[in-house]
Chain A
């Protein structure tokens, strides 16, 4: 029983990270209707940014995260401006390939600047806490709390503010949003800013319990794709729910099935879903 609860807690931790990454991916999908294959590279850049800010410049963990979030968010905006904006009328194949190009570049760039080694990120939250017979590090608790706070804040932003409403409007209907006077270019840039920021935040939170290396985004991005297909492309609650579903199934699978094959669970899940329902679960109407 103890193992089960411990694993459920672990599932909650990984699920939080997955949800944050998937949220950024789903936001961009909602706006541009492209799967951003470079999102994993943004995740990786976030991890490295925070790492450098902490070790090179000696900033505090939270300040380092803030800088990383802003920097990677701006990187996302640059991507939108220079790559996806010129390609907005091109066939969907082109966006995908362009995104892959960016991914390759950023990965190679990280290798050049930081080397290919596995780095461990320090964290001020290494204390071990034990509540109700469960033991875990503060960092894991922090991941869960931070993720939930961000999700609530994002939801409030999208639902209660005017700027947030423009993002939703644009994801519902691009031409319609343009007609009622929404500056779609600005909204697209803003979406990329938020998306990059979320990726950086997720990796900065997760890195102290994982490791920082150039290929760290690979598996995460593939799993984020699984999540947004699970939760419906472009759907925000779907991304959050899907993230936790995947987190739980992975941590339980690792304990009760096989630790070696835990990464394959996500892909088998996806293959099963798409085999049964080729357009994904919980598809929203209107998206084509």
Chain B
């Protein structure tokens, strides 16, 4: 039994499922919804590197997402650059701005870091909103082109965009998986568990924190760029704190500090929000308390709850008493991903 449902097979199963998904859904709207969910997966995975693995809660992530979206939008609409050159430049711009902010922001710790980044996010929002000459202010930026053709591959239909975003999502997840399971990733976790201890054993914490921060903004930028070219309209509200809280919710509900958490969280919440669309602006009446309840009772989200269920079942099978299963999640996370 277990040999069929092991990790490798389930990954293959889900990748295949996502590949045939366009063929089984009844209409393009669902496909479009799934595409946006995948875009959020990329952004949330970026946030996860920093908040989940390194333990620094950055509340400026939506700001970097917006920097990515606006960089791509401005480069393609105003500078009229080739799409893919603009795309690569966008990744560079967001990473560079992440580096600059990170250099200063990471001098602060814990609460100061959260408050500092919250303010940085707000400044990004205010600048986008007020600098009408560049960003178009509240009117936003319209007419962003769809991704340019690569050879004979065109990306102007919903189907092709779905596959494009899927490609970038899988690529990001692969990169993040490799990072997290490398020595660098373990260093991040060491910093999360105890920064002082990490320094004591000779880890250059500043360098590694900066790396985590830049990586997280890199993925925020990628996600923002894809968002701009799929939605094709962007306004200053994508930098607003409500987007930040959405990202945080995807991460928390899915499971912070796990690779699959952002995937589960983003997809589940995007679909549930879709079902609750009649609630519109009141949906936070449900999601707000949900967020609070999850953090109290299931601090590691759906994936975390699933993993502890599985470990419990395995322990029962082996008739081994469960020792301290709520603590030391790190080791289990590394093993089960």
Cβ < 8 Å to A, chain B residues 76-102: none
CB pair A98 B285 closer than 8 Å: no
Per the bound structure, the CA–CA distance linking A111 and B290 in Å amounts to 18
Q: Is B145 engaged at the interface, CB distance under 8 Å to the other chain?
A: no
CB pair A83 B292 closer than 8 Å: yes
Per the bound structure, the CA–CA distance linking A112 and B282 in Å amounts to 7
CB pair B283 A108 closer than 8 Å: yes
Per the bound structure, the CA–CA distance linking A96 and B299 in Å amounts to 12
User: Given contacts A93-B57, A97-B252, A101-B290, is CB(A271)–CB(B114) below 8 Å?
Assistant: no
Contacts of B290 in A (CB 8 A): 101
CB pair A103 B288 closer than 8 Å: yes
Q: Is B185 engaged at the interface, CB distance under 8 Å to the other chain?
A: no
CB pair B123 A267 closer than 8 Å: yes
Cβ < 8 Å to B, chain A residues 255-281: 260-261, 263-264, 267-268, 270-271, 274-275, 278-280
User: Given contacts A261-B130, A267-B122, is CB(A112)–CB(B285) below 8 Å?
Assistant: yes
CB pair B299 A111 closer than 8 Å: no
Q: Give a binary string over B188-212; 1 marks a CB under 8 Å from any A CB, 0 the rest.
A: 0000000000000000000000000
Chain B interface: which of A67-75, A84-92, A245-253? A84-92
Contacts of A92 in B (CB 8 A): 110-111
Per the bound structure, the CA–CA distance linking A97 and B120 in Å amounts to 18
Q: Which residue of A lies closest to B103 (CB)?
A: A275
Q: Is A244 engaged at the interface, CB distance under 8 Å to the other chain?
A: no
From A106, A226, A278, residue with most partner B Cβ within 10 Å: A278
Q: Is A27 engaged at the interface, CB distance under 8 Å to the other chain?
A: no
Shortest beta-carbon distance from A218 to chain B in Å: 7
Contacts of A90 in B (CB 8 A): 295, 299
Contacts of B295 in A (CB 8 A): 87, 90, 94, 97-98, 101
Q: Is A105 engaged at the interface, CB distance under 8 Å to the other chain?
A: yes
Q: Give a binary string over A200-220; 1 marks a CB under 8 Å from any B CB, 0 the rest.
A: 000000000000000000100
Shortest beta-carbon distance from B218 to chain A in Å: 22
Q: Residue B108 contacts which of A35, A108, A279 (CB distance < 8 angstroms)?
A: A279
Per the bound structure, the CA–CA distance linking A34 and B57 in Å amounts to 13
Cβ < 8 Å to A, chain B residues 113-130: 114-116, 118-120, 122-123, 126, 130
Shortest beta-carbon distance from A35 to chain B in Å: 5
CB pair B119 A101 closer than 8 Å: no
CB pair A116 B281 closer than 8 Å: yes
Contacts of B119 in A (CB 8 A): 222, 225-226, 267, 270-271
Shortest beta-carbon distance from B16 to chain A in Å: 34
Contacts of A194 in B (CB 8 A): none
Q: Is A146 engaged at the interface, CB distance under 8 Å to the other chain?
A: no
CB pair B123 A264 closer than 8 Å: yes
User: Given contacts A87-B296, A278-B109, is CB(A108)–CB(B282) below 8 Å?
Assistant: yes
Shortest beta-carbon distance from A189 to chain B in Å: 18
Contacts of B233 in A (CB 8 A): none
CB pair A98 B292 closer than 8 Å: yes
Q: Residue A98 contacts which of B55, B105, B245, B296 (CB distance < 8 angstroms)?
A: B296
Q: Is A80 engaged at the interface, CB distance under 8 Å to the other chain?
A: no
Contacts of A111 in B (CB 8 A): 281-282
Q: Which size class do A's interface residues fall under?
A: 35 or more
CB pair A101 B283 closer than 8 Å: no
Contacts of B288 in A (CB 8 A): 101-108
CB pair B283 A222 closer than 8 Å: no
Q: Is A109 engaged at the interface, CB distance under 8 Å to the other chain?
A: yes
Q: Which residue of A lies closest to B118 (CB)?
A: A222
CB pair B51 A93 closer than 8 Å: yes
Per the bound structure, the CA–CA distance linking A207 and B295 in Å amounts to 34
Q: Which residue of A lies closest to B120 (CB)?
A: A271
Q: Residue B284 contacts which of A93, A105, A263, A279 (CB distance < 8 angstroms)?
A: A105
Per the bound structure, the CA–CA distance linking A86 and B115 in Å amounts to 23
CB pair B285 A280 closer than 8 Å: no
User: Given contacts A34-B111, A218-B241, A274-B107, is CB(A93)–CB(B291) below 8 Å?
Assistant: no
Q: Is B104 engaged at the interface, CB distance under 8 Å to the other chain?
A: yes
Per the bound structure, the CA–CA distance linking A91 and B118 in Å amounts to 19
Per the bound structure, the CA–CA distance linking A218 and B107 in Å amounts to 26
Contacts of A240 in B (CB 8 A): none
Contacts of A275 in B (CB 8 A): 104, 107
Q: Residue A274 contacts which of B57, B112, B289 (CB distance < 8 angstroms)?
A: B112
User: Given contacts A35-B115, A93-B51, A271-B116, is CB(A100)–CB(B248) below 8 Å?
Assistant: yes
Per the bound structure, the CA–CA distance linking A275 and B283 in Å amounts to 38
Q: Is B177 engaged at the interface, CB distance under 8 Å to the other chain?
A: no
Per the bound structure, the CA–CA distance linking A90 and B252 in Å amounts to 15
Contacts of B107 in A (CB 8 A): 274-275, 278
Contacts of A274 in B (CB 8 A): 104-105, 107-108, 112, 116
Cβ < 8 Å to B, chain A residues 11-46: 33-35
CB pair B289 A35 closer than 8 Å: no
Task: List 7 additional contacts besides A94-B296, A104-B284, A270-B115; criterion CB under 8 Å.
Answer: A35-B115, A101-B292, A101-B293, A101-B295, A108-B281, A225-B119, A278-B112
Instruction: Please list the 7 inter-chain residue pairs (A to B) with the smallest Cβ-Cβ separation, ordered nearest first.
Output: A105-B288, A101-B291, A101-B292, A104-B288, A108-B284, A278-B107, A104-B284
- Interface residues of chain B, those whose CB is within 8 Å of chain A, are 51, 55, 57, 104-105, 107-112, 114-116, 118-120, 122-123, 126, 130, 241, 245, 248, 252, 281-285, 287-293, 295-296, 299
- What are 25 A-to-B residue pairs whose CB atoms are below 8 Å? A83-B292, A86-B296, A93-B57, A94-B296, A96-B111, A97-B252, A97-B291, A98-B292, A100-B291, A101-B295, A102-B288, A108-B282, A116-B281, A222-B118, A225-B118, A229-B115, A261-B126, A261-B130, A263-B126, A264-B123, A264-B126, A267-B123, A270-B115, A274-B104, A275-B107
